[in-house]
Every structure is written in structure tokens, then in C-alpha cells.
Amino acid sequence: MSALEAIKYSRGKLEVLDQLRLPHEHHYDEVSTSEEAFDCIKAMRVRGAPAIAIVAALAASVELHNGSCTVTGTEDVIKYIDSRLDYLYESRPTAVDLGNAVRLLKKTVRGVKTEGLTDAEAKEAIIKAFVEASEEILAKDLKTNKSIGAFGAKWLQEQYKITDDSKITVMTHCNTGSLATSGHGTALGIIRTLRDEGLLRHAYCTETRPYNQGSRLTAFELVHEGIPATLVTDSMAAALFRLRKAEENIAAVIVGADRVVRNGDTANKIGTYQLAVLAKHHGIKFMVAAPTTSIDVDTETGDDIEIEQRKREELTQISGAVVNADGSIDTSKSVRVAIADQRIGVWNPGFDVTPHEYIDAIVTEKGTVVKGEDGKFHFEDLMPERF
Ligand code: MRU
């Protein structure tokens, strides 16, 4: 079965799957400018920390490749590229991957040797370096996710000594799969690897209110991949753990991350924190799967993470396709339905912060990190270049 692809790219052309139309319709939008990428990210047609960064980088690269930069000369070209990247950076604040991509691309263009070149040659060299670096972000993400999958499955195997008779059940929250990344996924990548290695009994995915990334995207990916899975609402986790942990060998909650800070506190989709508290209470491992690009060692604790507030309509309205009387789905019409009194006040933070105390392991592409004797996570050995 072909893997789902959120991002289709060839040099000079970027297409992005419109995730607002999933799971009923598969429609790709061509994204050729920074403005189109900004809208696509802001409107959540693409979402998930790695995918957002990849789309921003590739859109800027397509735009440059196709001649959007009308100035020449090293200084002016770099100034133009900076302005495009600064603009894209404003599209969504919480996930750190976009900021990292912006920093990397700015550093790349500043590292191009242009002495002795004509203005036109300098411009060409800078744009070529930018395009190659953004393509590298895409290629690296897939490798990263496969490593995260392998390290996460290995860590669980070490904890539980899983056999054919003791396969484990896991829960995940939000969407962290092919749709949120360049492919394979982070938390969902670990679940995929567990399945591939014959270690997975069953996966539960939460609906992930209010934006329903779990029911719209993760449930869709799990079905698409043929992974044995069940959808629950966010409010069912406590009852599920209490009633089914022993019978189904529920062993871990595995989530992604939008930003992991220096002590291991982790910002992820709203609802993650409550699952971590529940997992601890029920003796279930709580794992964060995150590429090292999601680790922000410059921020000390989760209190310093800016949390995006989302619009009120995400709670008071919902959109979906029409269900015909025979149960089939009419994909020609999308409807928006009011599900609350439209005058009610709404609090809608897009993310929450799980304190590191509740996290058992942070799985990256470079290995799995557990807490030190001081009860905190330390990333110095994993990414010494950042310290
Ligand atoms: O608001 P979203 O849909 O972009 O949030 C996505 C999440 O919170 C994911 O769990 C996170 O970005 C990890 S993606 C591999």
C-alpha cells in the first residue's frame, strides 16, 4: 500500500495535500510562493511541526528557483531571502522546527562564497545553496523519522521484553504520522515500526478535540496502513486505562512534540498533559517522539513556551462531509455545523505543556533520552553542538 504523502516536491514545484478536506477528499494545492505557504500553514491545510517547517522552506525555495528575487548582489539577495523567511516564521509560533529551518537557511546563504563572482553569479550561487539546503531538510526528515521509529520500538522492547504472546497496546494523541512529516512519522512512526516488527497488539488514537487531528488524520492513516486500531474521544482515556490495561497490555502513550525545552518539558497538542498524568497514575510509560530539531535548548522550562491561541469557532462549530441515508459519504458537499451557542465565551489554547516529571522517555533520531539522577532530561550528550 502506498504511504500517504502530505508534501509532493520536485525542484521548482511544490504540492501540499489539503488536510482540511481529509479524510473524505484527497486534494493537492500547488504552493509556489511564500504567501501561499503562509496561508496554507496558518489555515492548517498543512500542520504538524516538521511538515510546517518543510513546506515553508520548500515554498521559499520554489519561489527563488522560479525567479521571484529581482535584486542581484550578495547583500541584497540575502536581505530579500531574510525577508521571505522572517515573514514565513510568523505563520505559527509554537513549533520550534520552523524557527530552526529559518535559522539554518539564513546561515546557509551567509556561508556561500561569492568573492570574485559577478552580481548575477553570486545570486545564482546563493539561490542554488538555498534550494539544496531546503531539499536536504525534506530528505533528512524521512531518515530522522525512521530512526525515531527504530529507537522507540527498541526502548519499548527493552522495557517490556515483548514476545509474540505479550504484544503491547499503545495510545497516541493528535497526528504525528506521514501527514505531519515528510513520511513515516514520529510517534506514529514508532507505532508503525512496532507493527512492522510484530510487537504491536493494538493502537488507540484519541479524537484530539477541538481540531480532531486524531479522528480526521491519525484514524485515517491507521486504517490506510492496516494497523489494528480504535478511535476514542479524549475523555475516554482514564476509563480505557482502568478497564482495559491488563487485558490488552496497554504499555505506553506515545506522542509527538512541537517544542521540547532544556529540562524536557514538552509542548504538544492540547490534551497531551492530561494523558501524561493519567499514564503515570496507571503505571503506563509516557513517551515523547521528537526529532532533535524540535529540541529547544535555549529555553529553560516549559513556562517560557509561547502557546498559540486558536479561534473560537474550533469549539463552537465543526465541519464535515454529508452522510447519505445509506451511510455512504457525499464528498461533493462540505458542511459547517454549529455545535454550541455561538455567544459562549471560549478558551482555546492549541497546545499544552507536559512537565518533564511525567515523561519517561524522549525518543530522537540520535537515541532515546531518559531522566538523569536529578530527575531532569539532559541533551548535552545527544547534541553537544547546541551547548
Ligand atoms: O496544531 P497542529 O495540528 O499542527 O499540531 C500538531 C501536533 O501537536 C503534533 O502532535 C506535533 O506537531 C508533532 S508532529 C510530528
Residue 174 CB less than 6 A away from ligand 1: yes
Placement of cell 568573492 in the chain = 115
Residue 177 CB less than 6 A away from ligand 1: no
Which residue has the least CA distance to atom 8 on ligand 1?
269
**Per-residue pLDDT reduced to its tens digit, 144-182:** 999 999 999 999 999 999 999 999 999 999 999 999 999
Over residues 263-291, the mean pLDDT reads: 98
What amino acid occupies position 52? I
Over residues 123-151, the mean pLDDT reads: 97
ipTM over 0.90: yes
Q: How far apart are CA 215 and CA 217, in angstroms?
A: 6
Kindly give the pairing relationship between strand 329-338 and strand 317-323.
antiparallel
Give the chain's mean pLDDT: 95
Q: What is the dihedral of CA 147, 150, 155, 158, to 10 degrees?
A: -150
The answer to whether the Cα torsion of 225, 275, 6, 143 is positive or negative is negative
Residue 95 CB less than 6 A away from ligand 1: yes
Residue 218 CB less than 6 A away from ligand 1: no
Q: Which of 197-201, 210-214, 329-333, 377-381 has the lowest mean pLDDT?
A: 329-333
**Ligand 1, atom nearest to 290 Cα:** 15
The Å distance, Cα 116 to ligand 1 centre, comes to 45
According to DSSP, the residues that pair with 8 across neighbouring strands are: 15
- The pLDDT score that the predictor gives to residue 331 is 81
Task: Kindly tell me if the per-residue pLDDT of 24 is higher than 90.
Answer: no
Q: How far apart are CA 5 and CA 21, in angstroms?
A: 14
The answer to whether the CB of 379 falls within 8 A of the CB of 363 is no
Q: What is the dihedral of CA 129, 133, 134, 139, to 10 degrees?
A: 140
Task: Kindly tell me if the per-residue pLDDT of 334 is higher than 90.
Answer: no
The Å distance, Cα 1 to ligand 1 centre, comes to 24
Query: Predicted confidence band at 40 (pLDDT cuts at 50, 70, 90)?
Result: very high
> In sequence order, what are the residues at sequence separation of 6 or more whose Cβ sits closer than 8 angstroms to the Cβ of residue 168?
156, 160, 162, 194, 199, 200, 201, 249, 250, 251, 252
Task: Kindly tell me if the per-residue pLDDT of 1 is higher than 70.
Answer: no
Task: Kindly tell me if the per-residue pLDDT of 295 is higher than 80.
Answer: yes
Q: How far apart are CA 108 and CA 102, in angstroms?
A: 10
Residue 290 CB less than 6 A away from ligand 1: no
Query: Predicted confidence band at 93 (pLDDT cuts at 50, 70, 90)?
Result: confident
**Ligand 1, atom nearest to 185 Cα:** 15
The Å distance, Cα 177 to ligand 1 centre, comes to 10
Residue 206 CB less than 6 A away from ligand 1: no
C-alpha grid cell for residue 308? 498559540
The Å distance, Cα 258 to ligand 1 centre, comes to 6
Element (H, E) at 288: strand 285-289
According to DSSP, the residues that pair with 361 across neighbouring strands are: 287
Q: Which of 97, 258, 296, 352 is catalytic?
A: 258
Residue 353 CB less than 6 A away from ligand 1: no
Reply yes or no on whether 258 is catalytic: yes
The answer to whether the CB of 379 falls within 8 A of the CB of 356 is no
**Ligand 1, atom nearest to 173 Cα:** 10
- The pLDDT score that the predictor gives to residue 34 is 97
The answer to whether the CB of 178 falls within 8 A of the CB of 3 is yes
**Per-residue pLDDT reduced to its tens digit, 69-90:** 999 999 999 999 999 999 999 9
Task: Kindly tell me if the per-residue pLDDT of 302 is higher than 90.
Answer: yes
**Per-residue pLDDT reduced to its tens digit, 7-20:** 999 999 999 999 99
The Å distance, Cα 267 to ligand 1 centre, comes to 10
- The pLDDT score that the predictor gives to residue 378 is 95
